[in-house]
């Protein structure tokens, strides 16, 4: 892999994971509640079924992706994707919270082996299509919420690496979310995370060019709305992947304009109301890629924990390994 991992770049890569987990834990106690005005503080606290600093399904589903990359596995390998899906199915048995669509997809697949927990990529993808066909839609935010680690395997300068990342992001998304909007959002966000890690700057517009030409104008329009609107005022339910991405980008954009950092960005995201943990996790993956893991407040970091018995230090260690071993996915 032609990529020099400086301390700054490594911090940003770690930030894509820790920032997402921090946003997830910050937003968890506010989930399904009304939006908050600017003068009401967003507090890092426990609430509902969630302990202080405990992440939800957003980060839990990202963990198997992160761990695969930390082993040097390729997200273009069907066997690797099968193990990731198998880990999700194993997690969902006793998870505190699993998205309705994700549970339906995983429930329609069967283990091909018990150790490791494994399903077939084709089987789980077919299940995702069946769920989509039965409901007529499958563009929930459940694949975008977990996409933060994907870019860590694609940070090199090799020719074609961005195309490879876009393909992997869509492929991982389609394991549970068949609809095009979900895959498009994951492509845009994963490419934006890669750019932020490498440059320390935001760019969600250039990644839109990775989509088929006939869909680009629509997505630029979605981003226009996000930049003109506060997160809590984004039209539509933020359980929809487009509205969730708009709310996340709105929080990031307005924080950037105001000269605010990672913590304030995540607080803006939580103010959206409803699916607060997911919007903040999505925002945290990109904002963390710009600001770095070192920008996560120490008091938050000390409490971060969740399935499968991990803490912030474990996420950091896996993220660092993912960067160092990511050459297999950049050999394109």
pTM, 2 dp: 0.95
pLDDT at 135: 84
On whether the CB atoms of residues 43 and 21 are closer than 8 A, the answer is no
pLDDT-based confidence at residue 122 (cuts at 50, 70, 90) = confident
1 lies in some domain = no
Residue 293 token pair:
């893991």
On whether the CB atoms of residues 20 and 148 are closer than 8 A, the answer is yes
Of all residues in the chain, the percent with pLDDT exceeding 70 is 95
Q: How many domains does the chain have?
A: 1
Over residues 201-233, the pLDDT tens digits come to: 999 999 999 999 999 999 999 999 999 999 999
235 lies in some domain = yes
pLDDT at 331: 42
Asked whether the predicted pLDDT for residue 119 surpasses 90, the reply is no
Residue 308 token pair:
């499968």
Residue from 272, 268, 271 nearest 256 by CA: 268
pLDDT at 57: 97
248 lies in some domain = yes
Asked whether the predicted pLDDT for residue 330 surpasses 50, the reply is no
Higher pLDDT, 52 or 83: 52
144 lies in some domain = yes
89 lies in some domain = no
pLDDT at 116: 53
93 lies in some domain = no
pLDDT at 332: 38
Cα separation values, 226 from 62, 220, 229, Å: 25, 10, 5
122 lies in some domain = no
Residue from 95, 94, 87, 143 nearest 111 by CA: 87
Cα separation values, 320 from 4, 5, 315, 317, Å: 13, 10, 9, 5
pLDDT-based confidence at residue 117 (cuts at 50, 70, 90) = low
Cα separation values, 183 from 124, 242, 315, Å: 16, 11, 25
- Dist. CA 228–CA 221, nearest whole Å: 11
- Residue 158's domain comprises 13-83+138-330
- Tell me the torsion sign for CA atoms 55, 59, 63, 66: negative
Work out the mean pLDDT of the chain and round it to a whole number.
Answer: 93
CATH value at residue 63:
1.10.4080.10
Over residues 160-199, the pLDDT tens digits come to: 999 999 999 999 999 999 999 999 999 999 999 999 999 9
Asked whether the predicted pLDDT for residue 1 surpasses 60, the reply is no
The H-assigned helical ranges of the chain are 7-27, 57-70, 78-92, 100-107, 121-135, 161-173, 180-199, 213-228, 241-257, 262-270, 276-291, 298-303, 312-324, 327-330
179 lies in some domain = yes
Asked whether the predicted pLDDT for residue 134 surpasses 60, the reply is yes
Over residues 273-320, the pLDDT tens digits come to: 999 999 999 999 999 999 999 999 999 999 999 999 999 999 999 999
């Amino acid at each position: 892999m032609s990529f020099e991992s400086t301390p700054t770049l490594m911090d940003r890569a770690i930030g894509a994971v820790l920032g997402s987990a921090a946003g997830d834990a910050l937003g968890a106690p506010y989930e399904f509640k009304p939006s908050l005005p600017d003068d009401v503080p967003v507090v890092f606290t426990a609430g509902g079924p969630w302990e202080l600093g405990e992440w939800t399904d957003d980060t839990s589903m990202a963990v198997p992706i992160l761990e695969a990359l930390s082993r040097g596995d390729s997200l273009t390998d069907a066997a690797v994707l099968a193990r990731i899906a198998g880990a999700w199915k194993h997690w969902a048995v006793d998870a505190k919270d699993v998205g309705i669509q994700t549970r339906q997809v995983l429930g329609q697949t069967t283990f091909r082996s018990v150790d490791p927990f494994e399903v077939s990529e084709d089987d789980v993808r077919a299940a995702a299509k069946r769920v989509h066909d039965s409901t007529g839609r499958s563009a929930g935010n459940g694949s975008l919420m977990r996409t933060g680690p994907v870019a860590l395997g694609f940070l090199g300068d090799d020719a074609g690496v961005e195309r490879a990342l876009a393909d992997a992001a869509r492929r991982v998304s389609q394991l549970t979310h068949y609809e095009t909007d979900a895959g498009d959002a994951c492509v845009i966000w994963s490419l934006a995370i890669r750019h932020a890690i490498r440059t320390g700057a935001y760019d969600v517009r250039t990644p839109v060019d990775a989509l088929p030409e006939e869909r680009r104008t629509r997505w630029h329009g979605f981003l226009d709305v996000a930049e003109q609107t506060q997160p809590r005022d984004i039209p539509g339910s933020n359980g929809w992947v487009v509205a969730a991405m708009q709310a996340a980008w709105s929080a990031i954009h307005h924080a950037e304009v105001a000269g605010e950092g990672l913590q304030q960005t995540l607080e803006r995201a939580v103010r959206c109301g409803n699916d607060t943990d997911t919007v903040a996790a999505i925002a945290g993956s990109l904002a963390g890629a710009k600001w770095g893991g070192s920008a996560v407040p120490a008091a938050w970091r000390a409490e971060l924990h969740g399935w499968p018995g991990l803490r912030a230090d474990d996420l950091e260690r896996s993220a660092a390994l993912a960067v160092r071993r990511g050459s297999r996915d950049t050999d394109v």
